[in-house]
Structures are given as structure tokens and as C-alpha cells.
Amino acid sequence: MAEINNFIKTIMQQDLESGKVDEIVTRFPPEPNAYLHIGHARAIITNFELAKAFNGRTNLRFDDTNPAKEDTEFVEGIMYDLAWLGYKPQNVFYGSDYFEATYEKAVLLIKKGLAYVDDLSQEEMSKYRGTLTEPGKNSPYRDRSVEENLKLFEEMREGKYKEGEKTLRAKIDMAHPNINMRDPAMYRILHIKHHRQGNKWCIYPMYDFAHPLQDSFEGITHSLCSLEYDNHRILYDWFVEKCEMEHVPHQYEFGRLNINNTIMSKRYLRALVDAKKVSGYDDPRMPTLCGLRRRGFTPDSIRNFILGTGLSRVNSTVDSFQLEEELRNDLKYKTLRPNAVINPVKVIIDNYPEGVVEYLDCPNNQEVPEMGERKIAFSREVYIEREDFIEVKPNKKWKRLALNVEVRLMHAYFITATSVEKDSNGEITCIHATYDPATRSGSGFDERKPNGNIHFVEATTAIPAVFRLLEPLMLDETEENKDLDFMERLNPDSLQIRNGFVEESLKDTKPLDHYQFIRNGYYVTDKDSTKDKLVFNRTCGLKSSFKL
Ligand code: ATP
Ligand code: MG
């Protein structure tokens, strides 16, 4: 795997050398309100790989301070995805475990005259906040006495007030040029059951207050986050200082990862799931880690993709074809290469004896002899891809089957098409052919060159299979659709189903088994697959689909 190298690594190195820190401790802090997406993979890999580079430690910390949308389903999903990516946190912590300690720090700030209980409504507060160009106004409740604030805050905790009735705010500066410093909210009232704390609490700390304290409690040295927190850093430092935190963590920001034409915010992903535009968070078209896994992407392909995008202090947009390239790099020499016919048409070899099935040797992966061989069936009836046949050979470039044209069925015999049968719509229902027994694979026959090599699946042993061909969920952005809501820019053809066959060696395939289907691309067995009806998702093609 590629080595991680970026500006944060340089900072860490310097901090170790100067003695500012004596070890590197990072954390990955997801909010358990959805499944992780590939953007999160950048945060995960950055935190874990950087700590690893210095023999440091990384915690997983669930940022579960807003009970409204959080759920244990997501907690479990996130842990599973993290382990799947190959990362084992030193500790698993929950922001909610620090509620008591966080509450005490809020009390400390009140005692120091640095926090107050405000009765303004949310709308009033935002009116008082001012704008980028105008200073804000002090709340009429700003000068409450320490005693009154302590009493009111305790009553907030006891549940004496309704949601929105009171808020605990830091007392900083309503004219501060950075709006985040204009008396930010520290606690709000929410009468909602928490997924871990139950009904113990009805006041919940805000991210900006809770996060630096959690980092400090855990001894985090480098608190890494994406760029949008840049102008919150001043507040982060303020809370650490004013709360008299023993350990002083520091925040560093990095650019977010975006992928062309890919919706990557949890809000949108949730909207797709809720509107049933996809089958769930793990729909193989989703950019979630569970969706990418089901689509057939491997942990190594994702890690190498993320490392390959680099890291800087600007947000970056990359093309998804790079992820496909990493998948091919990862699996090319590892996967079996069986035969699958995705859009089948039957070929009847009229001069082959009826009722006989013979078995021929076939390498498991032509490029890796150590992967061995298996037997593939051959008989009078085989399936080939419909696209591999045309009645009249159009030109020299046609290197597939046609009437009176001879091709090699890979690892079997040469066949020549002789006639076709058609239905009332003119569609070909079956191709008749003859084979030449002298051309058996492995016999050393070299008297004629066939007009190409095509793959096949023997008909009586073939297992029916559903192939899901997956395209981007979103249509390419154009002049006409660029202003449309993302729900109206969904690609109606993002999921296409084909019914075909695979060779019998795949009879025991199980979900997440990867294959390179000869000439068709990389596929993975889906969780919907059953013994009688196998289901495969197409991960990507054999070659880059990148178009200039
Ligand atoms: P979203 O904006 O998609 O809803 P989020 O940032 O609210 O995601 P969190 O659960 O808070 O989701 O994210 C956990 C960590 O992952 C944060 O540190 C966040 O900065 C980081 N992260 C989320 N999306 C990306 C991205 N696209 N690129 C890099 N880091 C990201
Ligand atoms: Mg967030």
C-alpha cells in the first residue's frame, strides 16, 4: 500500500521533534446518524495512517451529542465498516460518556462569568447575532448573576423548561469579527431519549463545546477535521483554555474529498433511502462504504484510492474512474476468471453427439499459473454472448462469430456458424454450428487461425444468474439539468438487470466473492444470491472507462 505523506504528517513530525508532544494520538469522530460514505474514508485513513506512521494511537469516538437522529444501527454499521477497512481503534468511546464531565466544565464557565443562560428564542438569537459586516447585539439576559445562571442551568438539567425556552451560551464577544465567537450556544434543551443515556439527560452540549473537551479528556494531540471547521478553531482553543483543560489538544483542518457526480453528504444519502430511490444504504450504487462493499470494491482499492488523492488544505474533486483503476490493480492477479454469459444466445453444434458432456482444462487465471486449473463442461449446446454473433461478417475488424466464419470457443473447440433460427420478431433464438474435433484445446492444433476467441457456458450445466449492471446514480451535469434538484437529476438507467448464465464451478459462490468474468468485467456475488438463482453485481469493467 502507498505510504501516507502530507502536510499534517510534517506538522506531527515537527511536534515530536520539538517535544511539543511525546506521542501522536488521533481520533475518528463520526456522528452515528447515518452510514459512512467514501468521504469519511478520507478522514478514517488520514487519522489512522498518520498515527500509525508514528507508532501512535487512534480512538473511534462516536459524536453522539444530538439524540434526534442518532441510532445504534448506525453505531454498529460504522464499527463494521471501520473493521472492514482494516482499522482497529485503540479505544471505542462515546461523546455521551462525557456528559457528566462536560456538564461540570459548563458549570465552571458559569462560575467564571464566562457562560450564561439565555431566554431568547432561536430566531431572536440569530437576529441578535449580526452579520459578517455588522456586529451583533448583547442579549438582554447576558448580565444575569453567576448565582442565577447556576440555578437556571441546574433547572434546565432537571427538565423544568421546554425545548427552546432556555439556552446556555458562552459569554465571549457579540462584536467579534468571527461570528462563531459571538456568544455561541453551549447547551440546548432536547426532550428526546438518547440511544445510550435513555432519559437521563434533557440538555445536550453543542459540538463546538463538547468536541474540544472530549479531545482533551482522551489526550488527543492532533484533532483532525475537514476544512469547514477552519473558522471554529478559535472557539475550540477558547473552550480548551477557559475550561482549564489539563491536556491541550490542537485542531488541524484538511480538504474534503468530493467525487465527480457523486452525492456525498449524509443528508442527501438519507433522502435517497427515505424516498426509496435506492434499496437502502447498502444499495450497490450508493457511495457509502457498505454500498461500495456490496458493489465489489475491496478495502485495499479504497485505501489506495484515498491515499492516491493526496491531502491538502483545499477541498478536492476526483474522478471515480480512479477507484475502479485501484480495484483492477488489486484484483487482477487475485481473482478467479470464470465464464459468465450475460446476454445469452444458444448455439447448437449439430455434429457433436447428443447427450454427451465432456470436460476440458481451463486455467483459473491465465496470468497466474499458480492459481491452477479447473474443468469446464462442453457439449452440443452452449451459450455465447448475443453480441459475439452477427449473421454477416461486416468487415475485417469483426473478430467474433458470423455465418460461415470460424472462431475458437475458449479452452474448447473451433466452431463455424451455419444457420440461425428466429422468432416472429426476427430475433435470433438459436444459432446452428459445426465443430472441428481436431481443434480441441491442448491438442496443439495450428493449421488454421480462428477469427477470434469467444467465451461460452455449456448449456446443461449452466447456472442461471442475474447480473446487475450499475451506472452512476446521477446523470452527468449538463446546461439543461444543472439547476435541477438532485432528486430530478437521478439517472433512470442506473440499475440494469440481465439474465444469463455462469459455469457450474460457481455453484457454491457466496456473497462478497469476487470474480473477473472473462471478457465481461469485475463482478461480486450479491447478498441476494441463492443456490438456484445467483446474483452478481458488476463492480467495474476490465479497462478504464475514462473518456477525455
Ligand atoms: P456529511 O457532511 O456527509 O453529512 P459529516 O461531516 O457531517 O458528513 P461526521 O459523522 O460528522 O459527518 O464526520 C466524521 C468525520 O468525517 C469528520 O471529521 C468529517 O470532517 C469527516 N468527513 C466527512 N465527510 C468528509 C469528506 N467528504 N472528506 C473528508 N472528510 C470528511
Ligand atoms: Mg458533521
Listing DSSP states for 351-404 in one string gives TSPTT--EEEEEES-TT-GGG-EEEEEE-SEEEEEGGGEESS--STT--SEEBT
> What's the confidence (pLDDT) of residue 546?
56
Q: Looking at ligand 1, which atom is closest to the CA of residue 226?
A: 20
Ligand 1 pocket (Cβ < 6 Å) reads 29-31, 39-40, 42-43, 225-226, 256-257, 264-267
Q: How much is the pLDDT for 3?
A: 83
Hey, CA dihedral for 27, 28, 29, 32, is it positive or negative? negative
**Which residue, judged by its Cα, is nearest atom 20 of ligand 1?**
226
Q: Which of 6, 37, 40, 60 to mutate to test the pocket of ligand 1 (most atoms within 8 A of CB)?
A: 40
Please tell me the number of the ligand nearest to residue 77's CA: 1
Q: What is the pTM of this model?
A: 0.94
Nearest CA to ligand 1 atom 9: 30
Q: What is the pLDDT of residue 320?
A: 87
What are the residue ranges of helices labelled H in 204-298? 207-217, 233-242, 266-274, 289-295
∠258-262-265 over CA atoms, to 5°?
70
pLDDT digits (tens, 9 = 90+) for 241-252: 999 999 999 999
The 3-class secondary structure across 76-129, one letter per residue, is HHHHHHHHHHCCCCCCEEEHHHHHHHHHHHHHHHHHCCCEEEECCCHHHHHHHC
Closest protein CA for atom 27 of ligand 1: 39
So what's the pLDDT on residue 21? 97
pLDDT tens digit sequence for 499-532: 999 999 999 999 999 999 999 999 999 999 998 8
Rounded distance between C-alpha atoms, residue 376 and residue 338, angstroms:
9
Give every residue of the chain whose pLDDT is below 70, as ranges: 1, 545-548
C-alpha cell at 338: 470464470
Q: Which ligand is nearest to the CA of 63?
A: 1
Q: What is the pLDDT of residue 261?
A: 83
- pLDDT for position 102: 98
Distance 74 CA to ligand 2 centre (A): 14
Per-position b or e across 516-540, b if 16+ CB within 10 A of its CB: bbbbbbbbbbbeebeeeebbbbbbb
